């Protein structure tokens, strides 16, 4: 059952709320450092820390601007900058984009189709009284993982038709659009989720969709 929730869970786990910071002075240096280090996964934090050190005066200014120079405040700013820099890097750094793209697609690797189909059969046998939003979320994820995007989209559209701001329905729709390669529209839905929820974590997925859209255009 764990993998069934992974598509939605990945987005939800990345949903931090905070204001956008000025990251341009950090991002390019991080990209160059990672490219020279030969590996995104191992060097990301190290390269970001080096960029912070290089721009220490600006970092200290941002810490001071918060009116709190405690260790917790510095750590909080570090994490917020790291997140925003990752959004930047998806757009400007090829190696980081490729890493994030492969990581995002990894959640659907090595799925057990028989297990998914058995779970679908179990869901179909549930009493009508148990068919709540969680039921439809799980069922739509099963459809997505089985490659049945049309039925997954029917569920998401049904949820959205009842409430245009339904977060689960919108997230499911964005995931289906991603799978179908409709990155322009999935980017719009992710940005709508940011506006509705205030959770900037969805910007990470919007940035991926935007970069995939650009990559698809170049490949034609």
DSSP code per residue over 101-130: HHHHHGGGTT--HHHHHHHHHHHHTS-GGG
Residue-level pLDDT at 204: 93
Structure confidence by residue, pLDDT tens digits, 128-163: 888 888 999 999 999 999 999 999 999 999 999 999
Last residue of a domain, one of 75, 106, 137: 106
pLDDT confidence of 68, banded at 50, 70, 90?
Answer: confident
Please tell me whether residues 80 and 158 are part of one structural domain.
no
Please tell me whether residues 137 and 69 are part of one structural domain.
no
Domain of 167 in residue numbering reads as 2-12+112-219
HEC string of 152-201?
HHHHHHHHHHHCCCCHHHHHHHHHHHHHCCCHHHHHHHHHHHHHHHCCCC
pLDDT confidence of 112, banded at 50, 70, 90?
Answer: confident
Residue-level pLDDT at 130: 83
Please tell me whether residues 33 and 53 are part of one structural domain.
yes
Residue-level pLDDT at 43: 85
Residue-level pLDDT at 21: 64
Please tell me whether residues 147 and 175 are part of one structural domain.
yes
Mean of pLDDT over the chain: 86
Contact (Cβ atoms closer than 8 angstroms) between residue 142 and residue 3: no
pLDDT score of 6 more than 50? no
Contact (Cβ atoms closer than 8 angstroms) between residue 177 and residue 204: no
pLDDT score of 110 more than 70? yes
Please tell me whether residues 102 and 116 are part of one structural domain.
no
| Residue 15: DSSP 8-state | -
Please tell me whether residues 54 and 39 are part of one structural domain.
yes
Please tell me whether residues 101 and 131 are part of one structural domain.
no
Please tell me whether residues 161 and 213 are part of one structural domain.
yes
Please tell me whether residues 95 and 175 are part of one structural domain.
no
Last residue of a domain, one of 106, 134, 169: 106
pLDDT score of 7 more than 70? no
The per-residue b/e assignment along 127-164, b for 16 or more CB within 10 angstroms, e otherwise, is eeeeeeeeebbbbbbbbbbbeebeebbebbeebbeeee
Note the pTM of the prediction, 2 decimals: 0.83
pLDDT score of 9 more than 70? no
Q: Provide, rounded to the nearest whole percent, the portion of the chain with pLDDT above 90.
A: 52
CATH number at residue 121: 1.25.40.10
How many structural domains are present in the chain? 2
Q: Return the minimum-mean-pLDDT range out of 3-7, 62-66, 122-126, 172-176.
A: 3-7
Residue-level pLDDT at 20: 53
Structure confidence by residue, pLDDT tens digits, 13-35: 444 444 556 788 899 999 999 88
Please tell me whether residues 138 and 214 are part of one structural domain.
yes
Round to whole Å and give the CA distance between 205 and 197: 14
pLDDT confidence of 173, banded at 50, 70, 90?
Answer: very high
Please tell me whether residues 81 and 189 are part of one structural domain.
no
Last residue of a domain, one of 106, 134, 151: 106
Closest CA to 1 of 174, 169, 138: 138
Please tell me whether residues 27 and 82 are part of one structural domain.
yes
Higher pLDDT, 218 or 20: 218
Residue-level pLDDT at 63: 87
């Amino acid at each position: 059952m764990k993998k069934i929730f992974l598509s939605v869970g990945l987005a939800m786990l990345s949903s931090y709320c905070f204001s956008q910071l000025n990251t341009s002075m950090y991002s390019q240096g991080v990209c160059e450092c990672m490219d020279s280090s030969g590996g995104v996964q191992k060097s990301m934090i190290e390269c970001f820390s080096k960029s912070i050190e290089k721009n220490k005066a600006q970092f200290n200014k941002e810490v001071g601007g918060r009116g709190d120079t405690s260790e917790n405040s510095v750590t909080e700013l570090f994490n917020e900058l790291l997140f925003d820099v990752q959004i930047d890097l998806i757009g400007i750094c090829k190696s980081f984009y490729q890493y994030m793209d492969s990581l995002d697609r990894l959640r659907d690797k090595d799925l057990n189709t028989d297990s998914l189909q058995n779970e679908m059969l179990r869901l179909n046998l549930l009493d009508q009284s148990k068919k709540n939003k969680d039921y439809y979320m799980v069922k739509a994820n099963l459809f997505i993982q089985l490659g049945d995007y049309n039925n997954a989209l029917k569920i998401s559209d049904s949820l959205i038709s009842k409430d245009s701001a339904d977060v689960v329905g919108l997230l499911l729709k964005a995931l289906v659009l991603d799978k179908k390669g409709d990155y322009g529209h999935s980017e719009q839905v992710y940005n709508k989720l940011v506006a509705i929820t205030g959770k900037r974590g969805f910007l990470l997925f919007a940035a991926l969709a935007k970069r995939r859209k650009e990559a698809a255009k170049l490949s034609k």
